[in-house]
Each structure stands twice: as C-alpha cells, then as structure tokens.
Amino acid sequence: MVRTSLVLPLHLVAVLLLASILPGCVLVAVGAGAGAAAGGVAYYMGELRSTERATPPEIVAAAKTALGNLYVSVISSSSDELSGEVLGRTSSDEKVQISVEYKSDGLSQVGIRVGTFGDEDMSRRILNDIEKGLPTQTGKTGTR
C-alpha cells in the first residue's frame, strides 16, 4: 500500500520536470500533430501543414495566385503529379516557401513557411487564399 501511494507523486514529479525542460511549442506540437494526421491543419516548428483534396499542380497554381493577392513576389514554381513547390519573397524580403506532396486518393499535403522561424498569421492567410483558389472548393479533408 505504501508503494502505491509513492508511485503517483513520483510520476507527477517526473511529468512536471519534463514539462519544465521542454519548450512549450513542443508540447503543443504533440497535440497539433495528431490533428494533422486526421486531415486538419497544424502549425508546427514554424510550418503550417494542411491536407487538401487537390493535385500538386492545382495547389501550385492556387498558391501562385494566393501569393499575388497578398503582394508576395513569386520567385520560382514547379510541379508535377507527385510534388510541387512555390518560392516567393514578401515586401520585407522574407522568404515564403510552399511545398506540396501528393499522398493518395486525390489528397496532397501542403507545407507553408514564411521567414526563417515562421509566421503563423501570414501562413494561415496564404492557406486560406490557396483553398479559395482550388478548383474543387472542398478544401481540407476535415470538417469545413
């Protein structure tokens, strides 16, 4: 009985110690990663990821339009049936990188990074404009 009563406090101490050592975004990212796997949107380590019901060429075309709407200069773009990428620069010379990878069943994963460390607000604006420009207008595989 004494042993059982000590186990809980030791586990609690271990969890609190671990939580104090790890950066907060890592703990949030664990939960966010689960959302991304389910077909939602997740912001993790400076990159916004989303699963879209479209091909890489369709997403790249929508991304180029989205960047233009947000006054981001498109530096280069490429795509094929399996992947795609768009590189751009903001007016403050921050790099914008959009990567697309075909997964399966008409679904592609989109990754958006703005700047070196990421800009979540700008990444979400870009994703919102990309989704508006997709031909299917269904967007994410999750609820919309």
Model pLDDT, residue 135: 82
In DSSP notation, 62-115 reads HHHHHHHHTT-EEEEEEE-SSEEEEEEE-TT--EEEEEEEEEETTEEEEEEEET
pLDDT at 118 over 50: yes
Q: With the C-alpha atoms ordered 27, 30, 36, 38, is the resulting torsion angle positive or negative?
A: negative
Alpha carbon dihedral 59, 114, 41, 106, in 10-degree steps, equals: 20
Q: From its phi and psi, is residue 118 left (phi > 0), alpha (psi between -120 and 50) or beta?
A: left
Contact 123, 112 (CB under 8 A): yes
Delineate the domains of the chain, giving CATH numbers in brackets.
Answer: 36-133 (3.30.310.80)
Instruction: Give the pLDDT confidence of 27-57 residue by residue, as tens digits.
Output: 344 444 433 333 589 999 999 999 999 999 9
pLDDT for 112 equals: 98
Cβ-based neighbours of 122, under 8 Å, separated by 6 or more: 70, 90, 96, 114
Q: Is the pLDDT of residue 142 over 70?
A: no
**Band of residue 13 on the pLDDT scale cut at 50, 70, 90:** low
pLDDT of residue 34: 37
Q: What is the pLDDT of residues 92-111, one digit of tens each?
A: 999 999 999 999 999 999 99
Per-residue confidence band for 17, with pLDDT thresholds at 50, 70 and 90: low
* Lowest mean pLDDT across 13-22, 30-39, 72-81, 121-130: 30-39
pLDDT tens for 56-95 read: 999 999 999 999 999 999 999 999 999 999 999 999 999 9
